[in-house]
Amino acid sequence: MHDLQPLVSLHGISKHFGEGPARVDALRDIDIDVYPEQVVGLLGPSGSGKSTLLNVIGAIVTPSSGRMTLDSEDVFAGRWLRSDLRRMRLEKIGFIFQLHNLLPFLNSLENVALVLDLAGAPPATGRERARELLDYLEVGNRAGAMPASLSGGEAQRVAIARALANRPRIILADEPTAALDSQRARIVMDLLRRVAREQQAAILVVTHDEKVFDHFDRMFHLRDGQLDGG
């Protein structure tokens, strides 16, 4: 596998907030490579830097220093090398959250198709791709359902479909199973493993959920902004 190029590559990534006595070092000199087909766990206590790291990779938080390559493109080297980070996120990254964050006034199909609308795809293309993904994740029968009528597991599958809409090869998941019971949590992690394999994707999962640890290819532990493991 390691003959391949990593999809996520971080070298010396640090992030601090504030200056002087008030300075907080959220990330310290992080090096990490994640390859296609890998599902990687980011573990650690609250405040250890897990979500900050995910947000740096997602180009939501700007690192203080270091270099980052996403899908073979150098995207950060002391500064962002892309002027349009929103476009970069649309092209390269899918996000999955603990709470599904589906728009309550759109049905399942419309929630997934919206991502393609934002990317400029024709409406018919967006709806076709959305239907294909909902079928792939075995919630096609819920395409017309509003979020309020979905079970927790169904809503999380629709959210995964939305994350896959633009065919990103990097998927960032922040506590995706925390709101699910053991059986549904395992189903969601099995789906993510399948996505990694079939779409040649790299998936990074922030979690405290011990019941899904056996689904990871590698696990990294963060403590006080520093990484060990992998």
Alpha-carbon separation of residue 88 from 59, 82, 92, 205, 218 (angstroms):
8, 8, 6, 20, 26
Instruction: Quote the DSSP letter at residue 18.
Output: S
**Cβ–Cβ < 8 Å for 68, 19:** no
- Domains in the chain (CATH in brackets) are 8-229 (3.40.50.300)
Q: List per-residue pLDDT tens for the chain, 230 residues long.
A: 455 789 999 999 999 998 888 888 899 999 999 999 999 999 888 878 888 999 999 999 999 999 999 999 999 999 999 989 988 888 889 998 877 789 999 999 999 999 888 888 888 988 999 999 999 888 999 999 999 999 888 888 899 899 888 888 899 999 888 877 888 888 888 888 988 998 899 999 998 888 888 889 999 998 888 887 65
Closest among 12, 104, 120, 128 to 66, alpha carbons compared: 12
Burial 124-138 (b: 16+ CB within 10 A, else e): eebbebbbebbebbe
pTM above 0.95, yes or no: no
65-70 and 39-43 beta bridge pairing: unpaired
Report the DSSP beta bridge partners of residue 30: 13
